Amino acid sequence: MSAAVMQAGYAEDRAAIEDLMARYLFAMDWGDYDAYLDMFTEDGELEFARGTARGRQAISESVRAFKQAIGQFYKDADGNPAILRHIISQTVIRIEGDRAFTVAFWWEMANDGPGGKPKAGTFGTYEDELVKQDGRWLFSKRRILNEFLEGRSTGEVNPVRLLDERAKKARA
Amino acid sequence: MSDPAQLARDRAEIKDLMGRYLFAMDWHDTEAYAACFTEDGVLDYAMATLTGREEIRLGAEKFRDAVGDLFKREDGSPALLRHVLDHIVIRVEGDEAWTTAFWWELTDGGPGRTPEIQSFGTYEDQLARVNGQWLFRRRKIYNEFIPGRETPSANPVRHYDDAAARAAGERN
């Protein structure tokens, strides 16, 4: 396995997808649900610790419940809901026509350390499938894995290997 | 003056390679790891300087076996190790490229199995485009926490800009 030879337009598609992934994190951390839902296809799927939500309505309910729960979980030194920030770093993006497959490393920190300092919370990976609709890349499936939650870890196999296999199937 | 569209494309492809490298390393996919290098590629890191894909693959196996002893959780079990790549400077001259990037690493070995930052450093790379694919020709890994392996005190971007300028000068 090695990096595939990329199709023409890879840079433009990659730039658009990186932008989408950044928008996603801002929407999540600032609780902007309209922006958040707008990043999924109508029948998009979000799979995370709370289960799998299909379609924008179900995703909306699931994400609102998650934000409420997380506010109870992360508290600052004064007991107020902590300011939580998700961060995305290395991202592998494979594009096959109007479909894309990504694996990315994420981690999170909040202002819940001693004396209100930043403290790392957890880390994991995103495994995504995207489609280009009317010139816009959207998530058709986002899978959020977290190495700190029982049954939600990324697993033993290099996720990029699995991504390349999915992309190969899409090409066939 | 290089073509901006070509630079965007090269940068996108090189970022993808750097992502694949880290997933291969952290998931101990030693074959995929070695495939990120040219056939005669060189990996210069704290444990050794390795030449060629087979030596690099064997080095990755040694790293896999050593890492469980290096990083442990409170209960003594091997910790999960994740390398993280953030700002990346990339300079391209034809079919050669030079990069400088900031890396850091964290484990799940903190108190109560929380994330804990372990070290940070820089990558200093030379890349070559072989059959349309960017690969590492030479990767040097600096680590600010290993005596003798620290990034030199001068801005590393200056160093690689000089190398790229020399290569461009030799071509003209």
Q: What is the set of domains in chain A, with CATH numbers?
A: 10-171 (3.10.450.50)
* Per-residue pLDDT tens over the stretch B10-32: 999 999 999 999 999 999 999 99
The chain-wide mean pLDDT, for chain B, equals 93
ipTM value for the complex: 0.87
> What's the whole-number mean pLDDT along residues A130-135?
97
Task: Calculate mean pLDDT across residues A133-151.
Answer: 97
Residues with Cβ within 8 Å of residue A69, at least 6 apart in sequence: none
Stretch A64-73: mean pLDDT: 87
If you compute the radius of gyration of chain B from its CA atoms, what whole number of angstroms results? 17
Instruction: Judge whether residue A38 has pLDDT over 50.
Output: yes
pLDDT lower than 70: segments of chain B: 1-2, 172
**Nearest CA distance, A79 vs chain B (angstrom):** 20
pLDDT reported for residue B1: 46
pLDDT of residue A93: 97
* Range A41-70 average pLDDT: 94
Annotated domain spans of chain B: 4-171
Instruction: Judge: B36–A2 Cβ closer than 8 Å, yes or no.
Output: yes
Beta carbons of B82 and A105 less than 8 Å apart: yes
Given this model, what pLDDT does residue A1 score? Answer: 46
- Tell me how crowded residue A11 is: count the other CB atoms within 10 A of its CB: 19
Answer whether B170 touches A (CB < 8 Å): no
CATH for B4-171 is 3.10.450.50
In chain A, whose CA is at the least distance from the CA of B80? Answer: A147
What pTM was estimated for this model as a whole? 0.91
Cβ contact (<8 Å) for B135 and A12? no
Q: How far apart are the first and last CA of chain B?
A: 12
A91 with B15: Cβ contact below 8 A: yes
Does residue A115 have a pLDDT over 90? no
Amino acid, res. A164 = D
